[in-house]
Structure 1
Amino acid sequence: MRAQVVKPYTRLVRRKETCMATANNREEVRALISTIDDAVVDGLMKGAVDLHVHSGPSTMARQLDHFQAVEQAAAAGMRGIMFKDHHYSVAPFLPIMERVLGHLNVAMFGGLVLNNTTGGLNPFVVDAQLNQGAKLVWMPTAQSANHIRSSHRKTRLASNVRLKASPGITVVDAYGEILDPVKEILDSIAAFDAILSSGHLHVWEIWKLFTEARKRGVKRLLVNHPMYGLHFTYEDIAEMAAFGAVIEQSACLYVDSRFNVFSPQELKEHVLAAGVEHSSIGSDLGQVDNPSPVEGLRQAIKLLLALGFTEDEVRLMVRDNPAKLVGLDPA
């Protein structure tokens, strides 16, 4: 069968349609969140934990640094934040940050993304980072094979054209079996009772990885934005939640953000596919020309309430579930 040729004009039409859909989504979001009282949101921000903060410094432009992220979280009454950078780990710097910002009573967490820029699938790097306090290990993101394949249509998955081109990373061999270095990494994560995140792997890889992780004693499993770039179906989300993973939805994909790609109704469907009891909300924000992490989380809370979720359900997703995953005592 002859491959279909997509003409440049067709690509332009599709891009225009995507932009129009995003604009419509953002308009609907603004209308919905305007119906929610700020005082209610203030209460739900108290004790919230954001496990997906992209503050700087970074190889990519950021609107706030790590110190400012903590200060803004404290002003909102939040309990904790997790710093995520695709190309280095903040974990070794947290003792210094605690000395300077500890009085704000915001728990600070760092982790390691296993991109080539941080050593890739290197068990020695992972062991060192866990010994320096890393709480979460993300599988490859911007340099995963799935991410690179998925970016050929210029999706908004994280990228950095200034960095040297990287070969795609996968966690499986040619037979679909988990690589030996990955098994070593899983053993280290289990030993430290750290969190294992799917990163930007393909859903098929994630199933293989998480199944192996469970066999090796990893207890804390996290899937980030499953419907964006990871090729999950609703059935995959439900089954992964039943398997014991926390399903994190990225606020930036749903709120009034330049990264918006989903409608409010899709947010509701994505959360319900996993179930509120297995869901969390991370801002996935910190980029320039976007809401701040705190503002993005506030918008997500308003949107969830406007979609019919109760205050208790929202509190579970923005406070209790992420706090439990990161090992904070119940509030």
Structure 2
Amino acid sequence: MTDAIPAPQRAEEVAELLVGAVDLHCHSGPAAMPRILDHHEALLDAAAARFRALLYKDHFYLGTAHAVILEKLFPELGVKLFSGIALNNASGGINPHAVDHAAKLGARIVWMPTLSAANHIEQASGQAKTFPKTAQKMLDPIPLRCTDGDGRLTDATLQVLDLVAEADIILAGGHLHVSEMLVLFAEARRRGVRKLLVNHPTYIVGCDDGDIRALVELGAYIEHSICMFVDGRAKKYEPDKLAHLIEVAGVEHTILSSDLGLQGSPRPVDGFRGVVGTLLDLQMPKAAIRRLVGDNAAELLGV
């Protein structure tokens, strides 16, 4: 039984499995939402754990310039730093001009609307009720969809897909409802987008097992937020749920990212330590764990 493994030995085992890890979903600051660490501190934590790469996510701004400067300032740390743009109201919504600029600056990911998504707003009294709040009241969001009243993708969305395909970067579903995301990802593939990512499919997005399988059939990676499986304010599920979700999509199509930085939860790297311990308790093979916490994400980033 894993309970018989001495704590120092388990810590060493976890540390070894995190060498080369990649966090595609780090919520460090500065940010409008209160964060427990900043981008520099997140970099230092990742370097101490010998991560391969770290990707900063903010719901309101493109963080690529921060990533470029920090990597230049601290090359000896050996961590590749990236960011991208979330197509919320602060970025002009589903805005091809913002995507064009982000891609040309070096962004590696475009998230479809998150807190500005109509689906997110409609769930304000449901799952989205637990979503972190900004430190100061922001303007009320204008609901965004990637489809029109007839269920067809908007012209702006189609232009965004073409820009993402041309740049060969990641298209993430954000907080769109799965019904929108299936239409979006199918068209994205037709237009040459090679890298598709579904964020926390069981939270706000509304995926069931069949939806996850359908998205995998389109070539998408399924990203689960570590924060929902480790102790902290965002915890929602027990280990058996994580094991089930990995089985549904398959190890080769699953990515574990922290989605951490929020108050009341562990730091991102500590979240990784916790989930790796959980995977070991679940008797997950070490090669599979490495894929889940590093190799699959590295493939999307090209590192």
Q: TM-score, normalised by structure 2?
A: 0.95
Q: CA deviation at 1:35?
A: 11
3-state secondary structure, aligned to 2:245:
helix
Per the alignment, residue 237 of structure 2 pairs with 262
Structure 2 letter corresponding to 1:148: I
Per the alignment, residue 203 of structure 1 pairs with 178
- Measured in 1, the distance between the counterparts of 2:265 and 2:87 equals 26
3-state secondary structure, aligned to 1:294:
helix
Structure 1 residues 36 and 241, CA gap change in structure 2 (3 angstroms):
farther
Per the alignment, residue 164 of structure 1 pairs with 139
Structure 1 residues 302 and 149, CA gap change in structure 2 (3 angstroms):
same
Q: Is the 8 A contact 2:71 2:79 kept in 1?
A: no
2:37 aligned with 1:102? no
Residue from 277, 293, 298 that aligns with 1:302: 277
Structure 1 residues 121 and 36, CA gap change in structure 2 (3 angstroms):
farther
- Measured in 1, the distance between the counterparts of 2:172 and 2:166 equals 16
- Measured in 2, the distance between the counterparts of 1:43 and 1:236 equals 34
Q: Is the 8 A contact 2:26 2:55 kept in 1?
A: yes
**Of the two, which has the highest radius of gyration?**
1
Per the alignment, residue 43 of structure 2 pairs with 70
Structure 1 residues 33 and 194, CA gap change in structure 2 (3 angstroms):
farther
- Measured in 2, the distance between the counterparts of 1:214 and 1:36 equals 45
Per the alignment, residue 231 of structure 1 pairs with 206
2:23 aligned with 1:50? yes
3-state secondary structure, aligned to 1:155:
helix
Structure 1 residues 187 and 297, CA gap change in structure 2 (3 angstroms):
same
Higher deviation after alignment, 73-82 or 89-98: 89-98
Residue from 284, 305, 308 that aligns with 2:259: 284
Q: How does 1:55-204 map to 2 (within 5 A)?
A: 55-153=28-126, 155-160=129-134, 162-204=137-179
Structure 2 letter corresponding to 1:157: F
Structure 1 residues 190 and 208, CA gap change in structure 2 (3 angstroms):
same
3-state secondary structure, aligned to 1:249:
strand
Q: CA deviation at 1:158?
A: 4.2
Q: CA deviation at 1:45?
A: 0.7
Q: CA deviation at 1:152?
A: 1.6
3-state secondary structure, aligned to 1:151:
coil
2:293 aligned with 1:324? no
Q: Aligned pair count?
A: 299
- Measured in 2, the distance between the counterparts of 1:146 and 1:325 equals 26
3-state secondary structure, aligned to 2:12:
helix
Structure 1 residues 128 and 100, CA gap change in structure 2 (3 angstroms):
same
Give the unaligned 5+ runs of structure 1: 1-29
Identity, in percent, stands at 40
Q: CA deviation at 1:305?
A: 1.3
- Measured in 2, the distance between the counterparts of 1:205 and 1:259 equals 25
- Measured in 2, the distance between the counterparts of 1:231 and 1:244 equals 19
Higher deviation after alignment, 241-250 or 199-208: 241-250
Q: TM-score, normalised by structure 1?
A: 0.87
Q: CA deviation at 1:102?
A: 1.8
- Measured in 2, the distance between the counterparts of 1:226 and 1:124 equals 28
- Measured in 1, the distance between the counterparts of 2:239 and 2:259 equals 17
Q: Is the 8 A contact 2:25 2:260 kept in 1?
A: yes
- Measured in 2, the distance between the counterparts of 1:289 and 1:152 equals 21
Structure 2 letter corresponding to 1:80: A
Structure 2 letter corresponding to 1:46: V
Give the unaligned 5+ runs of structure 2: none
Per the alignment, residue 26 of structure 1 pairs with none
- Measured in 1, the distance between the counterparts of 2:58 and 2:12 equals 32
- Measured in 1, the distance between the counterparts of 2:167 and 2:156 equals 17
Structure 1 residues 294 and 229, CA gap change in structure 2 (3 angstroms):
same
